[in-house]
Amino acid sequence: MDILKVTLVLQIVSFVSGANVTGFHSWKSENGSEKPNVLCPDFCFLRDTHFYDRCCACEGKPIWHLDSNLTYFPLFVEYVNSFGRSNIVGNDSSSSFHWVIHEYERLSRLPDNLCEFNNTLVTLKLKGNRIQSIEGINCTNFLDFLDLSENSISAISNETFSGMPNLRILFLTNTNIKTVGPNTFNSAGTEIFVTDLSNNTFLSYDVSNVYFERRAFCNITMVDCNITFVIKEEKTLQTGVKYGGGEVVLADSTINHHPVQLIFGSSISSLRNIYKYDFNGRFTFKKLVIPCDCNLGALLGGDMAVFKRFYHLDDDLYTCSSPEHLKKFNVLNVFNDSSLLDMFVCHKQKFCPSSCSCIEQPSRYRMIVDCSNQNLTSLPSYLPETIYNIELNCSNNAIKEVEPVNYLKNITVLDLSGNQVTEISDKVPSRLKSLENLYLTDHSLPKLTRGFADIDASKVWFGRNSVPCSCQEKWIKAWRLGSQVNSSNPLLCRTDSNGILRAEVAFDSCIENEFDKTFFALFLLPATALMAMVIAKVFRFDAIIIKSRFTKNKNTNFCYDVYVLFDDTNSDIIKYVLDVFRYLQHNGYKCFVPPIHEEIGDVRDVQLYENIKKSRSVLAVLSMPKDGDDINEVLMGMNHAWCLFSNNEIENIIAVVFEGKLAFHKKRFSFLGALNRFKRVFKVTSRKYRVKQKLTEALPIPNQDKTNTN
């Protein structure tokens, strides 16, 4: 906003407010109630619109300090007995406003007639008395400044300050407060700008008092505190709503959890949802002490951009209170050496079998359950609930029969080595949906059941113990050959005639009978031919991708490394694309991101094909159509890209599924299945990899001669 515009705005505001104070104007916060007795400095107009309210909240002044026409006189406290009961007295009833200062005395309760001055009393300072309860103080609905520090108030609730719309500054330092209930500073009609709760031990502090949906505030200070944050009333957050709006200072304090994690959840995937919400606050954690457990690990392992959005970073950000081997570290150490994140773990006690240890490790997105060497005769019947993958170690036990249990779908590693397993239920393999490795070394299996066909053969480790194999079990050979098994992971078959052989060759001596030959001639050959035709049609796009690897590109004079194709009417996708754009740009890629780089007046339909043709690769961010619109520009752009790719005029096509299921987008783009099979399609929601890192792995190395800052 230039100086002329500021001057005009100030003239208008001054005229409308009728204020007799130079340099100040009346103001009503964007989301809060009006404070008629507080004026905002004119220089707040020079701030960004986003910070105007907070500037007024922090820099605003009461009118009795600014307007010489208003009177502001004291009242006094008079004791009525030796037990600390009192009344407020004063001779001047004509004053516009009153103040009471009675500090380090012997008040045991609020003055009995306090409510009689509710229309003029604006300042009340009772620091250092013996007051134990402040219930009823909300009758002073004109009160602007309240200091009750160094009293013995044990609890405050959402009714304590309700009905005090003018309360602006609140001091409750060193007051022995143990409990702060939900919405204590966020109740109806309450709008406190400055709150100081330092030097307290909070056994229960509801996070709704540091993170709420309402107006801007200046700060909430909790220096040198011991705080147990809780959340008693879970709330569904909404996009398009402003949350917070000031600074929460937690310096030199000890806390049990980050307030942000109680709101959003502790998992990395949950924390990534922070980007969806309009959070305007910031936490200061200078010299904060916090357990370096799995909860903190999840936050630090998410994204530096997420972390910076909520916290100030400095050398004294915070240090670890536990475990012992991490006490010397602080947060900046972790950002400089990400391997330290592996030590941020939590020992899960609830529902962890008594003979096992259960440890969550967010840095590797897993819960490690160690039940080894415990003389177990079966898999544990239950495990702790977790959002992470489960790695279950049951090695060196006495497990002979493996039956299905309810947590199998979350198992990525199951170690049954050192057990003489004789039987595995057919239901077990089909439930291992997330399996990465199954260790069965030292097994005593009398046969392999067909249930194993539900598992990738390369993920099952049988060791050197053999399995009986007959010609009726030829499926084993097909199962092994259909997977990427290697020599370090053999399956040994014990045959009647040839001894022990690898499964891939153990069935070669099986003789087909005449029926098999007739079947081959009459049915299998025609079926094979038909199948070949079907495969040729289904995998015709795969052939184009394979051909591109061996064909020299026709165009070597690219202007851009990456053309980013997306629906620029979707605000969520725009935020995501800008984040990806900054990441690629940082890694040396020159990107074309419409509408950022398009010239004003360009006909987009005309320019779309030409700009894609100038790009070495195309990155398409796929979303769901809205209101029947099938996002024609994305459809057209993807078809242009595939045409150019098929003709070797661009080098690469990559797709990111931002919304919807992959199956839906395959129907829209017939070649998407082939791209997916060649690992050129990534899902934003996947927890198995980081999408931005995968993009740089899939894209060609940027052309350094042409790369410059966009």
> What pLDDT does 163 receive?
85
What is the pLDDT confidence band of residue 707, given thresholds at 50, 70 and 90?
Answer: very low
Which phi and psi angles does 366 have, rounded to 5°?
-150, 155
Give the pairing of strands 254-255 and 226-230: parallel
Kindly report, residue by residue over 461-474, the tens digit of the pLDDT. Answer: 999 899 998 888 88
Average pLDDT (161-179) is 92
Sign, CA torsion 158/164/165/171? negative
> What pLDDT does 554 receive?
73
> What pLDDT does 302 receive?
61
Cis peptide before 362 (omega within 30 of 0): no
> What pLDDT does 307 receive?
63
Please, where are the H alpha helices in 159-211? none
Highest mean predicted confidence (pLDDT) among 71-80, 266-275, 528-537, 545-554: 71-80
> What pLDDT does 495 receive?
85
DSSP string for 574-613: HHHHHHHHHHHHHTT--EE-TTTSSPTT--HHHHHHHHHH
> What pLDDT does 411 receive?
96
Kindly report, residue by residue over 86-111, the tens digit of the pLDDT. Answer: 999 986 778 889 999 999 999 999 99
Q: Which residue has the higher pLDDT, 700 or 171?
A: 171
Of 374, 365, 406, 409, which Cα lies nearest the Cα of 393? 374
Tell me how far apart the alpha carbons of residues 125 and 151 are, in angstroms, rounded to a whole number.
Answer: 11
Of 399, 448, 398, 444, which Cα lies nearest the Cα of 422? 444
Of 648, 643, 573, 579, which Cα lies nearest the Cα of 608? 643
Q: Which residue has the higher pLDDT, 125 or 55?
A: 125
Of 206, 212, 161, which Cα lies nearest the Cα of 31? 212
CB-CB contact of 121 with 99 (8 Å):
yes
Q: How many CB atoms lie within 10 A of CB 91?
A: 8
Percent of the chain exceeding pLDDT 90 equals 34
Kindly report, residue by residue over 336-380, the tens digit of the pLDDT. Answer: 777 888 898 989 988 999 989 999 998 898 999 999 999 999 999
Tell me how far apart the alpha carbons of residues 301 and 345 are, in angstroms, rounded to a whole number.
Answer: 12
